């Protein structure tokens, strides 16, 4: 055992710091992030671009590019043999043993992840052969079974298609088939529905829910869309400026937000009951004032203070601590009890 992790937890990120250090500047893209993901459940990590959510997922997968590196903290992962590993201390060769087999990842745009020169059947089969002792025929047979699992119509004939011959939704299903080919216990989904239209988004979310129940896997779901979170998550972590600003069960997040940033994100989500009045007139969709500051130029106090309608002078003095808020949540706001 390399660290403490609860029996019902598959992933425990503890005070993770991922920094990009150059001669001129240190960008603290992830600065002290902590959360737990329970077995068989979905944890959504939410935030705008630049909040640190994708860097967190890349840290877990060991896919950071230079000059990015883990500067501190632990990433405790429980494998299928119930052994706990600290991924933050892994060397690249260690990740090759678990990436794809124990932990898999799907990305926002499958065309950048799938090889355009190989058929989808060959690519899924290669993933299987890389981790399991199967011959070419067995790998092909299992690739076909995975395409059927992810509900590709006429899977047998699509097995020899190239990525460009498929729609965006079909390519995303192929990526899910590749990710689940070796039955990983943890799936990281980084904005997997953002590039898809609303109807296909709903289909992909339904598919992930069904496969989660079937395979018993846990899902770390990275997104900026709280509407998607409502459909799939059990717990929610909201990030801003490289830190967790709120964390709570999904029902609590939607019933009562304890941080102004979470409240702003929810107000940005289209809602017919709120946005259309009794006469049928549509109100302008709310947007949070300003923009996310560069991670190298965060304000000295609360990172969200320049955009916050609830800010006090004390918010400018020092970064607030993450404290218990509500029934089972946490908030990084000195006014969380008032919200």
What CATH number should be reported for the domain holding residue 68? 3.40.50.300
Beta 243-249 vs 329-331: how paired, if at all? antiparallel
Whole-number pLDDT of residue 23: 92
Give the domain-ending residue among 136, 163, 183.
183
Residues 243 and 304 in one domain: yes
Instruction: Give 209-214's long-range contacts (Cβ < 8 A, gap of 24+).
Output: 211/149, 211/150, 211/176, 211/180, 212/40, 212/42, 212/187, 214/149
Percent helix / strand / coil, the chain, rounded to 5: 35, 25, 40
Give the domain-ending residue among 123, 152, 183.
183
Contact at 8 Å (CB) between 100 and 130? yes
Whole-number pLDDT of residue 286: 80
Specify the residue for token string 């509407």.
227
Does 41 fall in a domain?
A: yes
Give the domain-ending residue among 132, 167, 183.
183
Contact at 8 Å (CB) between 106 and 54? no
Rounded to two decimals, the pTM is 0.93
- As a whole number of angstroms, the distance between CA 73 and CA 103 comes to 20
Does 1 fall in a domain?
A: no
In DSSP terms, 27 is beta-bridged to 20
Whole-number pLDDT of residue 282: 67
Residues 208 and 225 in one domain: yes
Residues 325 and 234 in one domain: yes
Task: Please give the distance of CA 99 from its chain centroid, rounded to a whole number.
Answer: 16
Instruction: Report how many domains make up the chain.
Output: 2
Does 262 fall in a domain?
A: yes
Residues 204 and 171 in one domain: no
Q: Strand, helix or coil at 188?
A: strand
Q: Which domain holds residue 15?
A: 9-102+184-331
Contact at 8 Å (CB) between 203 and 235? no
Whole-number pLDDT of residue 280: 67
* Joined tokens for residue 113: 């992840």
Q: What is the mean pLDDT of each run of 10 residues along the chain (339 residues)?
A: 80 98 95 97 95 96 94 96 95 90 88 90 94 92 95 95 94 94 94 85 92 94 91 96 97 95 89 62 79 92 96 94 93 93
Contact at 8 Å (CB) between 11 and 76? yes
Whole-number pLDDT of residue 1: 40
Residues 119 and 72 in one domain: no
Contact at 8 Å (CB) between 174 and 189? no
Residues 38 and 66 in one domain: yes
């Amino acid at each position: 055992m390399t660290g403490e992790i609860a029996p019902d937890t598959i992933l425990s990120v503890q005070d993770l710091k991922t920094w990009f250090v150059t001669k001129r500047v240190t960008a603290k893209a992830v600065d002290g992030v902590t959360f737990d993901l329970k077995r068989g459940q979905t944890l959504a990590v939410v935030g705008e671009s630049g909040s640190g959510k994708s860097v967190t997922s890349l840290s877990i997968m060991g896919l950071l590019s230079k000059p990015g590196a883990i500067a501190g903290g632990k990433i405790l992962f429980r494998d299928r043999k119930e052994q706990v590993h600290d991924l933050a201390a892994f060397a690249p060769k260690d990740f090759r043993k678990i990436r794809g087999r124990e932990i898999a990842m799907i990305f926002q745009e499958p065309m950048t992840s799938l090889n355009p020169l190989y058929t989808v059947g060959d690519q899924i089969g290669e993933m299987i052969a890389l981790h399991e002792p199967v011959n070419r025929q067995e790998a092909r047979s299992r690739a076909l079974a995975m395409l059927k699992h992810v509900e590709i119509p006429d899977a047998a004939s699509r097995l020899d298609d190239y990525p460009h011959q498929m729609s965006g939704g079909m390519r995303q299903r192929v990526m899910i088939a590749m990710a689940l080919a070796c039955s990983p216990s943890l799936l990281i989904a980084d904005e997997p529905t953002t590039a898809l239209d609303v109807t296909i988004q709903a289909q992909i979310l339904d598919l992930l829910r069904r496969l989660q129940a079937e395979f018993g896997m846990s899902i770390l779901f990275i997104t900026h869309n709280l509407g998607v979170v409502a459909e799939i998550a059990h717990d929610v972590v909201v990030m801003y400026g490289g830190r967790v600003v709120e964390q709570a069960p999904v029902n609590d997040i939607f019933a009562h937000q304890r941080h102004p940033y979470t409240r702003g994100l929810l107000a940005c989500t289209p809602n017919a009951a709120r946005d259309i009045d009794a006469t049928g007139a549509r109100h302008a969709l709310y947007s949070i004032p300003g923009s996310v500051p560069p991670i190298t130029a965060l304000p000295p106090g609360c990172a969200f203070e320049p955009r916050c309608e609830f800010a006090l002078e004390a918010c400018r003095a020092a970064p607030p601590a993450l404290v218990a808020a509500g029934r089972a949540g946490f908030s990084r706001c000195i006014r969380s009890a008032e919200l």
